[in-house]
Chains A and B, each alone.
Chain A
């Protein structure tokens, strides 16, 4: 399968814990995006990378959130000191520059 993959698919954590998600994009895609989706809403943009450079961050991305793409391939999204409001589906997408974004299956985070 050469699509976008995300791990883990589900994560349950206690409030205050740190969590990290991983996204592996389609191999030739140089852009990688993170979105968050809550119930009844569409995906909301968080941040994106072009190769290893993080070029844009949404105001939704508080200082507890950090994303990296160290070698321009896979990316990680870390949430520190999780809060119940962080419970959501975290979606990763990849694309060639300014082309259609292809989404992974998402990581569903539940913060107890």
Chain B
């Protein structure tokens, strides 16, 4: 039962353009959401998070948007850089005890 879904397994974007990665969830009780970036042969690296009381959080080139009514989360990267090429996972937290991860979106930024 996949409670967090990333329906796009891959995304290609030109360098300098905006990358938009999407994530949907089913459990309305989730109250904290995160994005992680993962390079091959490494563990996931925390990128940015958002609490359910907010609808936007920004950190440099990265902005996360939360639409609670649609149960939808998105990560915007602008401008995209080749070093952003990685697999991006969204995660949702219910109780503060475990994260539920999506299946990941592989982003390729083309120079």
Contacts and interface: CB of A to CB of B under 8 A. Distances in A.
Interface string B24-57: 0000000000101000011111100100000000
A44 B49 contact: no
Interface stretch (A70-78, A80-88, A100-108): A100-108
B100 interface: yes
Interface of B: 4, 6, 9, 34, 36, 41-46, 49, 89, 91, 96-104
Nearest to B41: A105
Q: In the complex, which of the residues B4, B41, B97 has the most CB atoms of chain A within 10 Å of its own CB atom?
A: B97
Interface of A: 4, 6, 33, 35, 40-45, 48, 55-56, 58, 91, 93, 97-98, 100-106
Contact of A102 (B46, B49, B89): B46
Contact of B44 (A41, A44, A103): A103
A103 to B, nearest CB: 4
Given A100-B46, A102-B46, A42 B98 contact: no
Contacts of B4: 42
B43 A104 contact: yes
A42 B45 contact: no
Nearest to B45: A103
Contact of A98 (B9, B34, B96): B96
A44 B3 CA distance: 12
Given A4-B43, A40-B9, A58-B98, 8 more contacts: A41-B103, A42-B4, A43-B89, A45-B98, A48-B98, A101-B46, A103-B43, A103-B46
